[in-house]
Each structure stands twice: as structure tokens, then as C-alpha cells.
């Protein structure tokens, strides 16, 4: 009996067919179980258990209708169902895993059985017929060398593919920026800055061109005297800024904010810098005045980067190739017409007028940011209300002063530190015209108050002591004044031009030009440039009497102030950017 | 409901008014004497089971001793299989494949690199003991103690020979893996070996889909190709292979004199059996030239490796959390990506400056620059040394197991007629002894 | 076999023996050096509650099916609020333990009346899955007395802790095994 059993077992052991079939059946079982497990696993379910979107939705529905008892019941039922489903799933997965494990054991055993049965059938191993020879050994050595070389090449290829997935250029930039910020600041010297038009109203913010060879006639209809014109993607009323062969502008809607760089030679749009994804930034504000728009402030440049601020207080710096260097959001200021003060650069500082609300709120301030990284260097809190003008930096007796205007104060600060130097109370109401400096006098003006000529050598409150003269005729509400050492020009929005003598404040003349103006007047040599809202440029002779030298029609409305360069004037129309000139 | 609303309003006020991180928004209550406050530590602090580690270490020592005896003394393949299954069951399925000597490499490296990390005693034992056993008895650990080896050994039913040249080349991969794992641990990136352990998911009966597929593929391949992980990936196997070259005792195919019958020639599924040197004398001159050239090429290969390693530095650096966080924060600040991640949110919530983050990332990058250069040089050295080994001829007179490749599985024993003869005699002797016992 | 081993193999054998001895000394000595108490003993994983942002990864990334991370409660910090924001939804429909009012997906927080108006909240560790929903609620609106800790009865102390790798806040730290918990204290 025992012998019979043993022979049966031996027969079965060497039965290749039985072994193969068992292996096939167990293999199929394993495959099916594995596939089912994977499918079940992929179906998911654990997430629902912890974070059920369905329950969350029902809970928020309940919050809207707290008395809905039926909904409460549904939530409870669904909650229970999800828990039950979760634990049922775990149980099923467990069962599946153990089934799979058992199947695998059976499968491997069957395979081993099949292998041993097959090998039992085969003849015993016969020694190889080929004797090991030197030649064969040499061949093996050679092929090993080649295969190692091939592996090295494959590894190098894989490495190259892997490397291409990520570089550390960002770290280089970040570390360079940190080191740069630690090093003494590098900035363009004033002489270099004066060759360009780096901010609203030119190098010193006075609307004075350093070049006398600028054109004075052109024709928008015929294109005569116009080198190029390019459509600006998003129109706005901020003014062009020029450095070298680049013209910068910005444009914005409620939801989009962009900085543009144009080529001075061709007018081609070199790049568009998108101002987006700034932490803390929000779209808006909603209640902005249409005339102000979302991009009223003019950009500023230091010669290496361009800085732009928008109505929602998004502030961004781009390098000259359009890569964003830094950006931050200052928080939307409380400003009833919409934020409009332009940025200015002083040495390595970007000075931001952040006036808002009323003098009593104490929320108005000036900020000086490090142009390299946007970090605040100093901050000056100001007892003033919201304002729309752009400050200037003047040099008086070798010292620099930052002149700021807002209801009701003109305040001068030391621009490096933000320390207040002097103040004068000579403004009232909404202040939009920017200050100018001529003949050693700071000239400030707005409709609610007066034109004041302030001697900038005082300290403390100089209202009573340092106002050299004041005048009250022809006060502008938006347009900034322009001045030479001899004459000050005021231009109102509805076209009243008033000329005073700078030294004394004596009115030289007034002239009603029957046009509307938003752009500020500019000076090139002895010529005064005025550009009306309809795009009519009037060139006047600077002098004690009104003398028109000529007029030029652009054929497109203009609200922005022009930028002057060597032999050229850049004018931003409502849709296009124009370059006037002949070469 | 009214009181509810009042509470909500208080809550809102507390939220808006207070610092978000401030604690103790609500004063602790003033209970009447009857209440005794539960103790947090008593409720939520179960202790560790420290004994487990020592039991594991003891089990390892016992298994190593037994495996060495079975492989070298008893020469029992069957015993090794049974021990392997037992190890798989205990170290694998029962202890979830953790801790294992392969992963312990990383603990050792971390203990060297990070002064704040002390090497646990169990990790030290798990790392050192198999190496010491290998130094004396060959790779008995691989044979029947390592659960990863055991699971692969079990599924190997239909071995196919891997061509020698391919095995040679793929045999370099474990060294690369070892170097990369050491680098990543030393830099504080990740525990590469643990992270891509192909079988630990099986042992735990739960794993991510990717690693399940990886492990299952290795097992399927392992049905035909002997122990693919051990031979072509395992970094600890690379170390054991080096150490086993020095081993005191090791597997010998034949228990006595090799009769050069060549029956064992194809018996090893791991390609570890080396044949005797050919009788015909090789061209000595050509061999010498090749050797000289390889020696000259060695510094070049190492240099190339170092250069290649340096080029891979940024890719390696991206495995580091600080680098990834710095990149994410930088991209967010530069407006190149939408939104924020949990990581960048958490970073900003700490109030640390981005400058510090970038400088920290810069330091990590500098570490990777050095580390990857060294890694590349190491890989170059391994390639060069392998080429050198290939060029060196050693006179072999019999069929023997290459100590570096042999995992002491004992498969070859049963092919050796001398062994079969020995075993028969042994059985007869035992049978006689039994009969003697019976008659007594 | 024995006679094979005792065959005199003069130079090569000696060299190998020497190398072997050096190697053994190296491995043994190195291991002994590294386990010598330079640093304060063995380390285990723990969550630094000051860094934890209760993102929820602890519940899903642990290699264990049921995470080793559980919520713990520092009672001395607790306000014993009637409207506990770790227990209830941000705007609960009613202050009952019904599913529509509570945060915990497993009902692992036991709410017990102590005296008017105080309620005691204890964690049922068997039910807690470490999702951190209550922690988030308590941290945002309350005293932050609920927080997550690794339960060392369950933690495998993996080298490559899966949760630590997935932790966005780098809140996972290795602490001395002798004091494996980071308790919050009243500040």
C-alpha cells in the first residue's frame, strides 16, 4: 500500500501536464485577484471618509436653512453610510490581499512543481562540449568592457535627461540679489539720469527737456514728423518713460495689470510684464473714477529695472528684459478718485506716495523701498489726506530734499532717511498738480488754495516765514505747473494759461486757449509745449507775452504728459504710443 | 439659539482681535472642588516597546549563525530554504521588513553626518553583524536571513542565465545606488533605500501603486532571472560582495577535490561559478597592454565621473526639501506660478525671511556640489576598478564560486558528484546508526 | 575539507587574513563608536505641535493603514467651552453630537458635561485617525489645547517616515526616545 502511494506521488510529481495546468489555474487566479485589487484600490474611498464633499455641501445647505430637519436626518444617514462603506472597503481589501497572497504561494509552488517535473524528464546535465579557451575568455573580457562602456553611456544619457528637469538658476538669482542688497547700493549718477526720461515729467519731475533739438511740428493724419506709432495693448493715462532704447508704459483693467517695453528704434513691443500672482493682491477697487482708471501712476526706472504701481497697490519691479525681480502689494489705499501718484526713484530708493483717507486718519505715508528687493527702507507717516500728485527731489545748497504735496501740507523730507525737514500749510482740498522747482523756489499749487513760492531753506513749520510770494489767479485742478527761472506757467483743465514771474509772483499775462487739457506742460529750451485732450499740441515762446510758435495735430486724444529725448518726443495717445522725430 | 449666536460673536471678536497664533483665547475654568482634571500624559502617551529591537537583533544573530552552519557546515540546501522561509515570515511579514541591514546603511551614514542623531543599537547591530559574518563565512546573510533575498529565492523557479557581459555591467548599479543613497542621507534629503524598497509594501500588505508594480515586476522577473534586486540593485549586497572577497570560509561547490566533471557548470542561477582557466596559454603581451591602458585610463574615468556628478548636482539637490521649498517660494514671489502650496503657506506662517531660506538653500546646494562630485568620482572609481579586474587574469584550477557573487544558496551542491557521494555515505552512516539504535 | 583549509598559502593567505582582521576591527569599532552616547541617545519621530499646521497628511500618509498619529489633549490649556470649535463645525446647527454639528469624522471626541457652562473633551484613541480636523478648529478659534502626537505604541519609527516626507511644515522631528512626546504646556 505504502509503495503504491509512493509511486502515485512520484508519478504526480513528474507529471508536467498536471503541474503546468495547476500553474496556469493558480496564475490566472493571481492575475484576476491582483487586477481586482488594483481596480478596487484605484476606485478610492478613503478620502471620502475623512473629507466628504457631499457632507460638506449638505452642511452648508443646512447653514442656509437651519431648521431643515429632513436635511439633518439625511446628513446623519449619509455620514453613517460613508463610515460603513469605509470599513467594508477595508475588510474587502484585506480579504483580497490574503487571497492574493495565498494564490501567489500556490502559484509559486505550482511553478516549482512544473519546473522540477520538467527537469526530471530531461536528461542529466551533460558537460558542455566547448572547452574553455583563451580566445573565448578574451572575447568575454572584451564584451564585458563594451557592456560597461554602454552602461556608462546609458547612465550619462539618463542623467542628462534627469538634469534637464530642473536647474537651480532661481537660487543663483536669489543669492545674487541677497548679496547685491548687502553690498553698497549701485545707482546711476545724476548726470546719467538726466540723459534719460526716467519718471513722470522727466529726470527732475519738472517737465523740462535736457535736449533742445526736439521736434515742434507733426501731423497725425499724414504721418509727417512721426517716426512710428504702436498700439498699446491696454490703454491708460500714465505717461511714457524712456531709458536708452526702451520706452516703458503700463496699462491695467480691473483684473489685468501689465507693464510694456517698446523699442525706441522701431516702436515694436519688446515685452509685456504681467503683474499677477502677488501675495495679498486683490482685483479692483470697484469704485474707482473712470477718468483715473486702474493704471494712472506713471512707471519709473533706475536704468536697470522698471517699477510700476497700480490702483490696487500692486507694486512690481521688472528688469530690462521683462523678468519680474520683485513684487508686493501695499494694500489698497482709501482714495476716492483712485490711486494716481507716480513712482519716483532716488538713488537706490523707490519712493512711493501712499497718501490716503483724511489727515485725521493718520494713514497717509511715504514709503522708500530698496529698488533691489522691494523691502521698506523708511516710512514717514503724514498728517494729510489722499493726494494725486507726484513728488520731486530737489537739490538746494548741496542737500537733497523730497518735496511732497497733499492737503493741507507741503512737506520736505531728507530722501535718504525720511526725516522731515520743513513743512508749510498752503494747500487745501484735493491736490493733483505736482510741485516744481525753479529759481531757487518750490512752487506748489492747487485749486482750493493758492500758488505758493516757498524758499526751501527753512526748518519746522515755515508757513509764516518762508513763503516768498503767493498768487491766486488761474489755479489748476489737475495739470501741474511748468517753470523756468523767469516764468511760471499755470494751465487749467479748461484752457486758461496764466504766466507769473518766478522771482516776484507778478502776473505777466493770462490767455484763454479754447481747449481742454489733462497733460502737464513741458519745457524744451525756450519753448513751452501744451497738448490738449483732443491731441492738439501748441508750442509757445517762453517769455513775458503770449506767443504761439505753432500747432500740431495728433488726431488722437491725449491725457498723458509727453517724454522728451534726443531729437524725439514720445506721446501716449488714448490708443497708441507715438514717437515724434525725424530720425 | 440666542446664546449660540452670542457665543459666535464672541468667537468672531476673539478671532479678529487676537493674534492668529495666540493661545489661551478663553480663560481656564474655575471648577468647583469636585472636578479632577484628566492627565494628558496618562491618556495619550503609550510607551514604545523597546524590547522588540533586541529580540530582532538576537533573532538576526541566531539566523546568521544557523545560515552559516547550514551553508558551510551542513551544506544543506533544504535547510537554507526552510530558514529563508522562516526569515521571510519573521523579518519580512511579521516585522514588516523593518529594520533591515540594507536600510541600516543609511542610519550609519546619518549618524556620521548629523551630530544630532545617535545610531540606535539595533541599527548598529543590523548593519555590522551581517558584515562580520560575511567576513568569516561568506554571504550566508543573503542566502537565508534577508527577507528580500528569501522572497526572490522562492520565486526563482525557471532560471535563465544572464550573459556574463550584461551581468558584469548591471553589477555596477548597486554601487551607484549605494553612493546615491549615502549622498542623499548625508545631505538630509531622503532615505532612498527605504523609499524604494520594492518588497516592504508586500511585507506590510499595503503599498503605493507604483512600488507595488515595481516589486511585482521584480518578482515576475525573478521567476526567470535569479534575485534581480540582490544582484543588480541591492547596495548592501555591494558591500557584502566586497567584504566576502576576504572571507575566511566560503562556499565550495565540492566538499573535497574538484574532479573537473563540469556538471555544476550551469547550476548557478546567479552566474557565480567561475570556470578553470584555459589550458592554452593566453597572449600575455596583449593582456599586459590592456592592463596598462586600463591603469592609465583609471584617473580619466574618475575625472569624467566627477564632472558628470557635478553636472547632476542640481538634479540631486531637488531631492532636498529646503531646495524645493526655496524654489516654490521664489516662483511664487516672482509670479511664475499660481497660488500657494501647504509648504509655502507653512513657511510664510513661520515669519522667517526668504533671504534666510535662500541662503540655507544655497548652503545645501554647495553641499550637493561637493557631494555629487565625490559621488561621480566614486562611480568612476568603481567602473575603473571593474575594468581593472576584468583585465587581471588569475589562474584558476577548478570550478569555484566567485566569492563576491555567490549568495550561498547551496543550489550547486546537489550537482556535484563528489557531494552526492559524500551525502550517500553520510546517510548510510546515519541509517546504520539508526539501525544500531533500533537493535539496541 | 579541513585539510584544504590548512594548506599553507603563504603570502596571499596572510594578506587576506590581515585585511579581514582590519575589516572586522573597522566594522566593529565603527559601530561601537557610532553607538557610543555622543548625542542624547536613540531618536524617535514626533510632531512639533508649534510647527504643525494640521494639514491632514498624518491621517493618509502613514505606512500603517490606521495612522500612528493621534490627537492628544492638554486639559490644563482647555477652556472647556460649551461651543468647542475643535468639536463642532464652525457654525453648528445645534450643540448636540449629531453628525451635522460635529467635525470629527470618526466621532473620536467624547464630550462630557462637567458643570455649567463647562464641558470636558477627551479623545478616544481607538477611534482617532489623526486627521487633525479638531486640531485645526481648536487652533484657529480656541486655546489650541488639541494637537497631534505620534503614538509610540503604533509608530514603527521608519527611517523614511512617510508622513515626515509629506509634511509641508517640517513639523516632524526626531526626539530622544527617552522623552518621546512633545507636550504643550500652559504659556
pLDDT (tens place) for every residue of chain B, 440 residues total: 444 444 444 444 444 444 444 457 888 888 888 888 888 888 888 888 778 888 999 999 999 999 999 999 999 999 999 999 999 999 999 988 888 999 999 999 998 898 878 888 888 999 999 999 999 999 999 999 999 999 999 999 888 889 989 999 999 999 999 999 999 999 999 999 999 999 998 898 877 778 888 998 999 899 899 999 999 999 999 999 999 999 988 888 888 888 888 888 888 999 999 888 777 666 677 778 888 988 999 999 999 999 999 999 999 999 999 999 999 999 988 888 888 899 999 998 888 999 999 999 999 999 999 999 999 999 999 999 999 988 887 777 888 899 899 999 999 998 888 888 888 888 888 887 767 665 54
- Contact B33/C173 with Cβ under 8 angstroms? no
Q: Which of A67, A84, A119 is the last residue of a domain?
A: A119
Mutation to test the A interface, candidates C54, C65, C93, most A Cβ within 10 Å: C93
> Which of A418, A97, A147, A306 is closest to B202 using CA atoms?
A97
Chain C CB contacts of B43 under 8 Å are 72-73, 122-123, 125
> Which of A51, A69, A71, A70 is closest to A61 using CA atoms?
A71
Residues A94 and A217 in one domain: no
Question: What is the radius of gyration, based on Cα positions, of chain A?
Answer: 40
| Cβ separation B165–A146 shorter than 8 A | yes
| Cβ separation C169–B346 shorter than 8 A | yes
Using CB atoms, which residue from C99, C105, C133 is nearest to A49? C105
For B270-377, strand residue ranges (E) read: 273-274
| Cβ separation A150–B169 shorter than 8 A | yes
Looking at the DSSP bridge assignments, the partners of residue A61 are none
Residues A94 and A224 in one domain: no
Interface contact C118, partner B, CB < 8 A:
yes
| Cβ separation C56–A51 shorter than 8 A | yes
CA distance linking residue A79 with residue B280, whole number of Å: 82
Chain B residues 102-161 with CB within 8 Å of chain C: 103, 106-108, 111-112, 115-121, 124-125, 127-128, 131-132, 135-136
Using CB atoms, which residue from B44, B255, B256 is nearest to C123? B44
- Contact B142/B408 with Cβ under 8 angstroms? yes
C-alpha cell belonging to residue B368: 550637493
Neighbour tally for B374: CB within 10 Å: 18
Using CB atoms, which residue from B31, B39, B124 is nearest to C34? B124
Chain A CB contacts of B205 under 8 Å are 94, 97, 101
Give the count of Cβ contacts less than 8 A between chain A and B: 160
> Which of C129, C135, C101, C47 is closest to A50 using CA atoms?
C129
CA distance linking residue A342 with residue A434, whole number of Å: 10
Phi/psi region, residue B5 (left: phi>0; alpha: psi -120 to 50; beta: rest), is alpha
User: To the nearest whole angstrom, how far is the Cα of B40 from the nearest Cα of chain C?
Assistant: 5
Residue of C nearest to B2 (CA): C94
DSSP code of residue A197: B
Interface contact C135, partner A, CB < 8 A:
no
**C182 vs B261 pLDDT, higher one:** C182
Neighbour tally for A358: CB within 10 Å: 14
DSSP code of residue B37: P
Please report the sign of the dihedral spanned by the C-alpha atoms of residue A315, residue A317, residue A323, residue A326.
negative
Q: How far is CA B189 from CA A330, B317, C165, C170, in A?
A: 37, 8, 9, 13
| Cβ separation A145–B387 shorter than 8 A | yes
What range defines the domain where residue A112 resides? Answer: 2-119
Q: Report whether pLDDT(C37) > 90.
A: no
Using CB atoms, which residue from C93, C98, C131 is nearest to A50? C131
| Cβ separation C100–A58 shorter than 8 A | yes
DSSP code of residue B119: P
Q: How far is CA B240 from CA B77, B148, B153, B411, in A?
A: 21, 15, 18, 20
Q: Is A460 helix (H, G, I), strand (E, B) or coil?
A: strand
Chain C CB contacts of A90 under 8 Å are 65
| Cβ separation B191–C16 shorter than 8 A | no
Q: Is A372 helix (H, G, I), strand (E, B) or coil?
A: coil
| Cβ separation A168–B317 shorter than 8 A | yes
Residue of C nearest to A74 (CA): C100
Mutation to test the C interface, candidates B13, B20, B34, B118, most C Cβ within 10 Å: B118
Neighbour tally for A546: CB within 10 Å: 14
- Contact B124/C42 with Cβ under 8 angstroms? no
CA distance linking residue A245 with residue A232, whole number of Å: 17
CA C32 to chain centre: 28
Using CB atoms, which residue from B4, B23, B32 is nearest to C77? B23
List the subunits that have 3+ CB pairs under 8 angstroms with C. A, B
Interface contact C10, partner B, CB < 8 A:
no
CA distance linking residue B137 with residue C83, whole number of Å: 68
Interface contact B210, partner A, CB < 8 A:
no
> Which of A337, A326, A262, A349 is closest to A297 using CA atoms?
A337
Residues A204 and A89 in one domain: no
A482-483 and A376-382 strand pairing: unpaired
CA C64 to chain centre: 12
Helices (H), B200-260: 200-204, 209-224, 228-232, 235-244
What pLDDT was estimated at residue A224? 93
Q: Report whether pLDDT(C2) > 60.
A: no
Interface contact B224, partner A, CB < 8 A:
no
Chain B CB contacts of C27 under 8 Å are 128, 131-132, 135
Contacts of A105 (CB under 8 A, 6+ apart): none
What pLDDT was estimated at residue C5? 47
CA distance linking residue C89 with residue A46, whole number of Å: 21
Looking at the DSSP bridge assignments, the partners of residue A268 are none
Chain A CB contacts of B416 under 8 Å are none
- The answer to whether the peptide bond before residue A128 is cis (omega within 30 degrees of 0) is no
Phi/psi region, residue C150 (left: phi>0; alpha: psi -120 to 50; beta: rest), is beta
DSSP string for residues in A463-521: TTTSEEEEE-SS--SSSPPEE-SSEEEEE-TTSEEEEEETTT--EEEEEE-SS---SPP
ipTM of the complex: 0.83
pLDDT in tens, chain A (583 residues): 455 666 777 788 778 888 889 999 999 999 999 888 888 877 766 677 888 888 889 999 998 888 889 999 999 999 999 889 888 888 888 888 889 889 988 998 898 888 888 876 655 555 555 566 777 778 888 898 999 999 999 999 998 888 877 789 999 989 998 998 899 999 999 999 999 999 999 999 999 999 999 999 999 999 999 999 999 999 999 999 999 999 999 999 999 999 999 999 999 999 999 998 888 888 878 888 888 999 999 999 999 999 999 999 999 999 999 999 899 999 999 999 999 999 999 999 999 999 999 999 899 999 999 999 899 999 999 999 999 999 999 999 999 999 999 999 999 999 999 999 999 999 999 999 999 999 999 999 999 899 999 999 999 999 999 999 999 999 999 999 999 999 999 999 999 999 999 999 999 999 999 999 999 999 999 999 999 999 999 999 999 999 999 999 999 999 999 999 999 999 999 999 999 998 7
Domains held by chain A: number: 2
Neighbour tally for C90: CB within 10 Å: 13
Using CB atoms, which residue from A50, A71, A76 is nearest to C105? A50
- Contact B68/B83 with Cβ under 8 angstroms? no
User: To the nearest whole angstrom, how far is the Cα of A392 from the nearest Cα of chain B?
Assistant: 30
pLDDT digits (tens, 9 = 90+) for C116-165: 889 999 999 999 999 999 999 999 889 999 999 999 999 988 888 999 99
Question: Which helix H or strand E contains C12, and what residues bound it?
Answer: helix C10-35
| Cβ separation B40–C142 shorter than 8 A | no
- Contact B223/B158 with Cβ under 8 angstroms? yes
CA distance linking residue A60 with residue B104, whole number of Å: 50
CA C107 to chain centre: 21
Residues A459 and A568 in one domain: yes
For C22-84, strand residue ranges (E) read: 43-47, 69-73
What pLDDT was estimated at residue A468? 96
> Which of A376, A449, A437, A355 is closest to A402 using CA atoms?
A437
Which CATH number is A314's domain given? 2.130.10.10
C-alpha cell belonging to residue B352: 522667517
Mutation to test the A interface, candidates C100, C102, C130, most A Cβ within 10 Å: C100
- Contact A348/A307 with Cβ under 8 angstroms? no
Gap between the terminal Cα atoms of chain A: 117
CA distance linking residue C162 with residue B207, whole number of Å: 11
- Contact B58/B90 with Cβ under 8 angstroms? no
Identify whether A148 is part of a domain: no
CA distance linking residue A242 with residue A235, whole number of Å: 18
What pLDDT was estimated at residue A41? 78
DSSP code of residue A80: H
CA distance linking residue C1 with residue B435, whole number of Å: 28
Amino acid at each position: 500500500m505504502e509503495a503504491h502511494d509512493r509511486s502515485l506521488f512520484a508519478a504526480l510529481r513528474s507529471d508536467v501536464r498536471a503541474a503546468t495546468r495547476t500553474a496556469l489555474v493558480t496564475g490566472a487566479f493571481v492575475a484576476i485577484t491582483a487586477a481586482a485589487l488594483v481596480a478596487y484600490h484605484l476606485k478610492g474611498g478613503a478620502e471620502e471618509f475623512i473629507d466628504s464633499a457631499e457632507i460638506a455641501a449638505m452642511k452648508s445647505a443646512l447653514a442656509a436653512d437651519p431648521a431643515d430637519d429632513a436635511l439633518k436626518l439625511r446628513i446623519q444617514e449619509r455620514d453613517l453610510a460613508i463610515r460603513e462603506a469605509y470599513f467594508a472597503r477595508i475588510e474587502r481589501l484585506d480579504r483580497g490581499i490574503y487571497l492574493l497572497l495565498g494564490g501567489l504561494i500556490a502559484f509559486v509552488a505550482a511553478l516549482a512543481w512544473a519546473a522540477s517535473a520538467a527537469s526530471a524528464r530531461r536528461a542529466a546535465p551533460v558537460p558542455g562540449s566547448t572547452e574553455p579557451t583563451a580566445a573565448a575568455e578574451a572575447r568575454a573580457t572584451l564584451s564585458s568592457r563594451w557592456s560597461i562602456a554602454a552602461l556608462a553611456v546609458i547612465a550619462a544619457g539618463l542623467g542628462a535627461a534627469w538634469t534637464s528637469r530642473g536647474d537651480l538658476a532661481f537660487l543663483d538669482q536669489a543669492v545674487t540679489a541677497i548679496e547685491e542688497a548687502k553690498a553698497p547700493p549701485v545707482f546711476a549718477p545724476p548726470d546719467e539720469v538726466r540723459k534719460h526720461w526716467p519718471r513722470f515729467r522727466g529726470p527732475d519731475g519738472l517737465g523740462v527737456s535736457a535736449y533742445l533739438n526736439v521736434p515742434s511740428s507733426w501731423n497725425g493724419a499724414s504721418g509727417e514728423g512721426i517716426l512710428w506709432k504702436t498700439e498699446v495693448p491696454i490703454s491708460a493715462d500714465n505717461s511714457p518713460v524712456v531709458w536708452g532704447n526702451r520706452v516703458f508704459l503700463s496699462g491695467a483693467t480691473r483684473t489685468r495689470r501689465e507693464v510694456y517695453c517698446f523699442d525706441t528704434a522701431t516702436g515694436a513691443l519688446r515685452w509685456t510684464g504681467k503683474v499677477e500672482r502677488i501675495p495679498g493682491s486683490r482685483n479692483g477697487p470697484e469704485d474707482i473714477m473712470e477718468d483715473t482708471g486702474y493704471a494712472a501712476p506713471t512707471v519709473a526706472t533706475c536704468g536697470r529695472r522698471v517699477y510700476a504701481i497700480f490702483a490696487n497697490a500692486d507694486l512690481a519691479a521688472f528688469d530690462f528684459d521683462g523678468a519680474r525681480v520683485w513684487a508686493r502689494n501695499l494694500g489698497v489705499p482709501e482714495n476716492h478718485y483712485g490711486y494716481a501718484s507716480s513712482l519716483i526713484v532716488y538713488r537706490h530708493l523707490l519712493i512711493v506716495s501712499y497718501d490716503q483717507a483724511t489727515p485725521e486718519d493718520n494713514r497717509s505715508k511715504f514709503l522708500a523701498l530698496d529698488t533691489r528687493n522691494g523691502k521698506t527702507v523708511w516710512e514717514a507717516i503724514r498728517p494729510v489726506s489722499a493726494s494725486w500728485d507726484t513728488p520731486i527731489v530737489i537739490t538746494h545748497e548741496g542737500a537733497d530734499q523730497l518735496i511732497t504735496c497733499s492737503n493741507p501740507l507741503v512737506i520736505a523730507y531728507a530722501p535718504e532717511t525720511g526725516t522731515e525737514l520743513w513743512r508749510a500749510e498752503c494747500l487745501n482740498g484735493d491736490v493733483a498738480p505736482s510741485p516744481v522747482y525753479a529759481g531757487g523756489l518750490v512752487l506748489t499749487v492747487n485749486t482750493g488754495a493758492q500758488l505758493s513760492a516757498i524758499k526751501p531753506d527753512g526748518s519746522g513749520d515755515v508757513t509764516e516765514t518762508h513763503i516768498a510770494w503767493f498768487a491766486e489767479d488761474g489755479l489748476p485742478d489737475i495739470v501741474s505747473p511748468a517753470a523756468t527761472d523767469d516764468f511760471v506757467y499755470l494751465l487749467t483743465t479748461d484752457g486758461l494759461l496764466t504766466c507769473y514771474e518766478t522771482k516776484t509772483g507778478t502776473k505777466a499775462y493770462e490767455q484763454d486757449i479754447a481747449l481742454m487739457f489733462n497733460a502737464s506742460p513741458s519745457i524744451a529750451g525756450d519753448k513751452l509745449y501744451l497738448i490738449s485732450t483732443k491731441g492738439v499740441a501748441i508750442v509757445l515762446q517762453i517769455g513775458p507775452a503770449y506767443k504761439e510758435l505753432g500747432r500740431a495735430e495728433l488726431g488722437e486724444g491725449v491725457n498723458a504728459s509727453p517724454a522728451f529725448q534726443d531729437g524725439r518726443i514720445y506721446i501716449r495717445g488714448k490708443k497708441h504710443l507715438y514717437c515724434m522725430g525725424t530720425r | 439659539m440666542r446664546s449660540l449666536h452670542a457665543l459666535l460673536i464672541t468667537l468672531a471678536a476673539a478671532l479678529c482681535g487676537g493674534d492668529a497664533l495666540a493661545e489661551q483665547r478663553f480663560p481656564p475654568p474655575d471648577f468647583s472642588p469636585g472636578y479632577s482634571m484628566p492627565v494628558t500624559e496618562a491618556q495619550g502617551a503609550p510607551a514604545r516597546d523597546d524590547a522588540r529591537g533586541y529580540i530582532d537583533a538576537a533573532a538576526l544573530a541566531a539566523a546568521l549563525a544557523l545560515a552559516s552552519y547550514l551553508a558551510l557546515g551542513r551544506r544543506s540546501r533544504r535547510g537554507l530554504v526552510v530558514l529563508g522561509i522562516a526569515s521571510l515570515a519573521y523579518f519580512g511579514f511579521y516585522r514588516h521588513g523593518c529594520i533591515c541591514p540594507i536600510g541600516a546603511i543609511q542610519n550609519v551614514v546619518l549618524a556620521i553626518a548629523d551630530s544630532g542623531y545617535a545610531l540606535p543599537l539595533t541599527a548598529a547591530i543590523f548593519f555590522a553583524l551581517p558584515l562580520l559574518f560575511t567576513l568569516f563565512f561568506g554571504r550566508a546573510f543573503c542566502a537565508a536571513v534577508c527577507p528580500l533575498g528569501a522572497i526572490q529565492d522562492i520565486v526563482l523557479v525557471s532560471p535563465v542565465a544572464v550573459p556574463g557581459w550584461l551581468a558584469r555591467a548591471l553589477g555596477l548599479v548597486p554601487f551607484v545606488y549605494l553612493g546615491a543613497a549615502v549622498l542623499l542621507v548625508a545631505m538630509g534629503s531622503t532615505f532612498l533605500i527605504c523609499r524604494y524598497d520594492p518588497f516592504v509594501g508586500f511585507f506590510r500588505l499595503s503599498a503605493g501603486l507604483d512600488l507595488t508594480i515595481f516589486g511585482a515586476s521584480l518578482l515576475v522577473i525573478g521567476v526567470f532571472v535569479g534575485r534581480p534586486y540582490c544582484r543588480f540593485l541591492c547596495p548592501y549586497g555591494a558591500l557584502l560582495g566586497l567584504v566576502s572577497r576576504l572571507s575566511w570560509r566560503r562556499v565550495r561547490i565540492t566538499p573535497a577535490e574538484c574532479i573537473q566533471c563540469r556538471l555544476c557548470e550551469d547550476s548557478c542561477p546567479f552566474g557565480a561559478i567561475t570556470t578553470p582557466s584555459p589550458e592554452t596559454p593566453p597572449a600575455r603581451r596583449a593582456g599586459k597592454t590592456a592592463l596598462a591602458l586600463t591603469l592609465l585610463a583609471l584617473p580619466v574615468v574618475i575625472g569624467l565621473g566627477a564632472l558628470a556628478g557635478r553636472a547632476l548636482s542640481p538634479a540631486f539637490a531637488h531631492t532636498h526639501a529646503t531646495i524645493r521649498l526655496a524654489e516654490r517660494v521664489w516662483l511664487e514671489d516672482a509670479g511664475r506660478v499660481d497660488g500657494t502650496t501647504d509648504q509655502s503657506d507653512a513657511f510664510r506662517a513661520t515669519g522667517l525671511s526668504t533671504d534666510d531660506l535662500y541662503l540655507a538653500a544655497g548652503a545645501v546646494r554647495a553641499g550637493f556640489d561637493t557631494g555629487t562630485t565625490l559621488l561621480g568620482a566614486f562611480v568612476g572609481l568603481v567602473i575603473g576598478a571593474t575594468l581593472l579586474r576584468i583585465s587581471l587574469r588569475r589562474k584558476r584550477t577548478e570550478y569555484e564560486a566567485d566569492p563576491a557573487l555567490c549568495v550561498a544558496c547551496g543550489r550547486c551542491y546537489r550537482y556535484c558528484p563528489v557531494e552526492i557521494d559524500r551525502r550517500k555515505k553520510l546517510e548510510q552512516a546515519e541509517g546504520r546508526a539508526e539501525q544500531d539504535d533500533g537493535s539496541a | 575539507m579541513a585539510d584544504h583549509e590548512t594548506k599553507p598559502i603563504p603570502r596571499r593567505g596572510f594578506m587576506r587574513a590581515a585585511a579581514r582582521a582590519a575589516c572586522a576591527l573597522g566594522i566593529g569599532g565603527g559601530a561601537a563608536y557610532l553607538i557610543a552616547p555622543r548625542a542624547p541617545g536613540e531618536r524617535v519621530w514626533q510632531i512639533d505641535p508649534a510647527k504643525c499646521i494640521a494639514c491632514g497628511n498624518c491621517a493618509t500618509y502613514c505606512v500603517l493603514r490606521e495612522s500612528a498619529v493621534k490627537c492628544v489633549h492638554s486639559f490644563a490649556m482647555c477652556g472647556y467651552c460649551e461651543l468647542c470649535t475643535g468639536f463642532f463645525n464652525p457654525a453648528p446647527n445645534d450643540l448636540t453630537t449629531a453628525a451635522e454639528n460635529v467635525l470629527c469624522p470618526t466621532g473620536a471626541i467624547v464630550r462630557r458635561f462637567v458643570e455649567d457652562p463647562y464641558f470636558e473633551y477627551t479623545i478616544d484613541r481607538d477611534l482617532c485617525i489623526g486627521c487633525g480636523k479638531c486640531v485645526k478648529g481648536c487652533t484657529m478659534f480656541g486655546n489650541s489645547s488639541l494637537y497631534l502626537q505620534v503614538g509610540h505604541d503604533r509608530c514603527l519609527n521608519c527611517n523614511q517616515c512617510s508622513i515626515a516626507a509629506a509634511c509641508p511644515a517640517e513639523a516632524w522631528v526626531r526626539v530622544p526616545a527617552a522623552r518621546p512626546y512633545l507636550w504643550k504646556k500652559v504659556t
